[in-house]
Structure 1
Amino acid sequence: MTQKNEVRIGCGAGFSGDRLEPAVILAEKGDLDYLVLECLAERTIALAQKRKAADPSQGYDPLLERRIELLLPLLKQNKIRLITNMGAANPVAAADKIIGIAKRLGISIKVAAVIGDDVLEHISGDEIAMETGNSISWSGQTVSANAYLGAEAILPALETGADIIITGRVADPSLFVAPLVHEFGWSLDDADMIAKGTVIGHLMECAGQITGGYFADPVKKPVENMSTLGHPFAEVYRDGSAVIGKVDGTGGTITLATAKEQLLYEVTNPYQYLTPDVSADFTTVSLKQDVKDRIKVTGGSGSKKPSTLKVSVGYKAGFTGEGEITFAGTNALERARMAGEIMHERLNDQFPGLRVDYVGHTSVHPTSLAHDHKPYEVRLRLAGKAATADEAAIIGQEVEALYTNGPAGGGGVRKYVNEVIGIVSILMNRNTAKSSVVVKEYEY
């Protein structure tokens, strides 16, 4: 393969529920070599494992079909390779679904599914949760265990020549590191080069966040045209430097401020940002605003990759019951508080830790920052945890009973019961997770 000196990668999604249009615009007008869709989070994959357990043909991203139907003609027309973790708990079923879409659209396609991140069979229950320091022995309640694979697992899929590479759980920056290693011929043992690629991947992985999404504040940090927020692309060079931009005419903005916020996003130690590929030092990164909506990225250094992989473990954590009711008009807050006190007296013994929120007054902060402010309308919310769905439903039932058994003027009751999937992290010897590639192909 002739190695390139420049590769352009776009990020069309930063989470499972991201908007569809920005990826389409990147595929149409971004002049891309690769398009990445990063659609997987810890809880997302645990829920996907539940869907797969109920139906072995499921377990991939719920929006996969809609995204692929929109993107596939553009990917083929513009010779763009797609890399995505929309395979979630079932990359092979996802590949089969893509083949089915290609047949329906009359488009030849080759799909490579990366598997091996599912390590549930290797979980003993004696592992120590990083968050708590305690054993993860939940005695049959564990529903998923997925190791964060790295670029090394994706490279064989790229080498098949597949148009679409679909993975399960891989580290977010690795989705970007892999094509750079593939195109530039970087060594996976060159920690500094892999760190530079990781910096670029980390800046790109949340898509619209670096173009002003989540960053925006209409008072302190205004961002224009948020309704047409564009997603980013990176022009990456062989030396590991890059320019991050967005398609002209799309909304949002790329500035030093948006780039710095994203660089530090979810980073607990900027001197040692650990991925399966490298231990990256973000303090050696330099950002420079070249022109409007263009940031030049240089620097980044690294050291040897960790001997362990992070594993996200999902487990059944019971159920939550919720109930909501609104009080409006004169003395709305006082009536809502009276209802909250009634509910606390009725339910607290059965639901220790019962949460009582006055939405619009003290729903985010436990005490009001404006004690003299009396809202004209308040929504009371009750929430608690229970072992069973039937027990959790009692909370909503009691809130509904406030219609005639509580203060005057309550209305708009809604009640919910949801199963809770808890997530903890453990470390596992990296050699335990054995990745491989399954290729699916359709010739029109």
Structure 2
Amino acid sequence: MKSMRIGSGAGYAGDRLEPALTLLDQGNLDYICFECLAERTIALAQKEKKNDPKKGYNHLLEYRMEEILPLAFARKTKVITNMGAANPLQAMQVTREIAKRKGITGLKIAAVLGDDVLDLVKRSQDLKILETGQYLSILDNRIISANAYLGSAGIIEALKQGADVVITGRTADPSLFLAPMIHEFGWSMEDFEKLGRGTMVGHLLECAGQVCGGYFADTDRKTVPDLWNIGFPFVEIDENGEGIISKVEGTGGIINTATCTEQLLYEIHDPAHYLTPDCTADFSAVEFESEGKDLVRFRKASGKKASDFYKVSIGFINGFLGEGQISYGGTDCIARAQLAAEIVKKRLEKLALEDVRFERIGLNSITPYHSHPQDLLEVRLRVCAKADTLEKARKIGQEVETLYTNGPYGGGGVTQNTEEVISVVSVLIPKDKVKTHVEYTVS
């Protein structure tokens, strides 16, 4: 029975590179996929592209491709990634230039386009926002990006045309991994049971180190060996959509039925109805079975027909964030930090700010403790709020800084920060309104 190996090279935009290189070098892979987009990531990338048409792709694209391409070319491993973000075309050109500098000739590179639906969304103000039920028109002219979660079709087309590297924009995470399965095994796009199995595999791999013990480790209760040297996972999957998940021998981390189960349920609202562009996956009957150290067999995922809509992630300008921080030390540091917070609170009342927060980091910045431990010898006060103008946002940090000479004694280490807030909402648009196409270049 035909089988193939797919590895995971990244689980988010800024992930480490070393585990991916180890996987490329020693994993005997047919494909490696780098998943590098989150909801806000692409909105920020679109903003960057607007300021510079040659930007908008992942900031680590050059860094990664410099190391990936020679190894992948030598091992005959195909690369699939959404590092194109808001600018897959430019990412494709940059990748070609890197390949040429490395002396790699004849490398076919593809860019999958069509996820940018900003113009369509701007003409569809009657769309309902999934999170609030309000009409899209409530955002007025603040929308800066709109990207549909495409499925595997564009990647499959690129692979059919012999692409060695496929770069996409916003593509559903598991679709990056599902596409080579469909291509290699010749699965029908109507065989939803196999598409569901492949989607489950993609979901296990999409966060890279997480299924190998990252975000699983919990000191004494869930120990993970050599987490500092965590390896990234790969699957060996057969044409029926079943197989094993493992990692390179000698790398840190752990793969067992518990890590796989946690990752299976990660970011899943309903395991029996996981909505993706390719199918509605059903993970409710999935079984994991250990077959040895860091070796887990998976089976019994399934799926049903996908919906007729794409989810679209919309980024919009949502005011400005202002922040100021200051530290207090000494036996009564908590009381002085509280006094400082009261001073700043009164100073900011006239600014009509939103979401004002006063946090004593190390005491109540994450969990709102109600007790005041007396053995703390230092605490850091953080004040932040959202403002409708940049000028108001700057006042927040400025007021914290004035505590140097206008607040309680012993304060120091002030920092200030202001930034534009980019928020994200979602809508649904019919699939037949989105046209995907692929462009190519050769090194």
Report TM bin, short chain: over 0.9
Kept in 2, the 8 Å contact 1:195–1:302? The answer is: yes
> How does 1:144-293 map onto structure 2 within 5 Å?
144-293=145-294
CA root-mean-square deviation: 1.0
- For the residues of structure 1 that align with 2:354 and 2:201, how far apart are their CA atoms? 46
Q: Distance in 2 between matches of 1:313 and 1:127?
A: 12
Deviations 1:321-366 (A, max 9, x none): 0000001111010000010111111113412431100100010122
Work out which of the residue numbers 19, 23, 29 in structure 2 matches 1:26: 23
Q: Does 1:339 align with 2:340?
A: yes
* 1:69 maps to 2:66: yes
Q: Distance in 1 between matches of 2:288 and 2:372?
A: 43
**How many Å separate the matches in 2 of 1:255 and 1:347?**
52
Contact 1:347 1:354 in 2 (8 A): no
Report the 3-state secondary structure (helix = DSSP H, G, I; strand = E; otherwise coil) of the residue aligned with 2:292: coil
Instruction: Name the CA distance, whole Å, in 2 between partners of 1:157 and 1:375.
Output: 59
Q: Say whether the 8 Å CA contact 2:146–2:312 is kept in structure 1.
A: yes
- Matched AA of 2:356: L
> How far is 1:373 from its partner?
4.8
The answer to whether the 8 Å contact 2:280/2:306 transfers is yes
Aligned to 1:59: 56
Match of 1:119 in 2: 117
Amino acid at match of 1:60: Y
Question: Structure 1 CA distance, aligned partners of 2:187 and 2:215?
Answer: 33
Q: Normalised by the size of structure 2, how large is the TM-score? A: 0.97
Give 2:5's aligned amino acid.
R
What's the counterpart of residue 44 of structure 2? 47
Matched, 1:382 2:383: yes
| Alignment-derived partner of residue 78 in structure 1 | 75
Say if 1:371 and 1:329 are closer, same or farther in 2 by CA, change over 3 A. Answer: closer
Q: Aligned partners of 2:158, 2:197: CA distance in 1, in Å?
A: 22
- Whichever residue aligns with residue 361 of structure 2, its letter is V
Letter in 2 for 1:33: D
Distance in 2 (CA, whole Å) between partners of 1:426 and 1:236 is 34
Structure 1 residue runs of 5 or longer lacking an equivalent are: none
Moved over 6 A (4+): none
CA distance in 2, matches of 1:295, 1:36: 20
Query: Deviation of residue 110 (structure 1)?
Result: 1.0
The answer on whether the counterparts of 1:313 and 1:424 sit within 8 Å (CA) in structure 2 is yes
Aligned partners of 2:354 and 2:387 also within 8 Å: no
- Measure the CA separation in 2 of the matches of 1:30 and 1:340: 54
Q: Which residue identity is paired with 1:53?
A: K
For residue 35 of structure 1, the aligned residue among 32, 37, 55 is 32
The 8 Å contact of residues 348 and 354 in structure 1, kept in 2 or not, is answered as no
C-alpha separation between the residues in 2 aligned to 1:197 and 1:348?
Answer: 54
Structure 2 counterpart of 1:132 = 132
1:6 matched to 2:3? yes
Amino acid at match of 2:345: H
| Aligned equivalent of 1:360, options 359, 362, 370 | 362
Cα distance between partner residues in 2 of 1:304 and 1:222? 39
- CA shift, 1:371, in A, is 4.5
Give the letter aligned to residue 85 of structure 1. Answer: N
Instruction: Determine helix, strand or coil for the equivalent of 1:354.
Output: strand
Structure 2 residue 419 is matched with structure 1 residue 421: no
User: How far apart are the structure 2 equivalents of 1:427 and 1:374?
Assistant: 53
1:63-104 Cα offsets, whole Å, 9 max, x none, are 000000011100110000000000000101000000111111
Q: Indicate the SS of the match to 2:381.
A: strand
* 2:98 match: secondary structure: helix
Q: CA deviation at 1:403?
A: 0.4
Q: Which ranges of structure 2 fall in alignment gaps of 5 or more residues?
A: none
SS in structure 1 of the partner of residue 261 of structure 2: helix
Deviates more, 1:125-134 or 1:108-117: 125-134
TM-score normalised to the size of structure 1? 0.97
CA contact (8 A) 1:326 1:411 kept: yes
Identity %: 50
SS of the aligned residue for 1:223 comes to: coil
> Is contact 1:333-1:374 (8 Å) kept?
no
Cα distance in 2, alignment partners of residues 143 and 102 from structure 1: 33
SS in 2 for 1:417: strand
Partner Cα separation in structure 2 for residue 99 and residue 88 of structure 1:
17
Q: Which residue of 1 aligns with 2:303?
A: 302
What does residue 100 of structure 1 align with? 97
The answer for the alignment partner of 2:404 in structure 1 is: 403
State the SS of the aligned residue for 1:379: strand
* Partner SS state of residue 301, structure 2: strand
Tell me by how many angstroms 1:153 deviates. 2.1
After TM superposition, give the deviation of residue 314 of structure 1 in Å.
0.3
Deviations 1:150-184 (A, max 9, x none): 01221111111111000000100000110000000
The one-character-per-residue Cα deviations of 1:97-142 (angstroms, maximum 9, x if unpaired) are 0011111111121101000000011012221111111112222110
- 2-side partners of 1:338 and 1:37: how far apart? 48
Aligned 8 A contact 1:68 1:101 in 2: yes
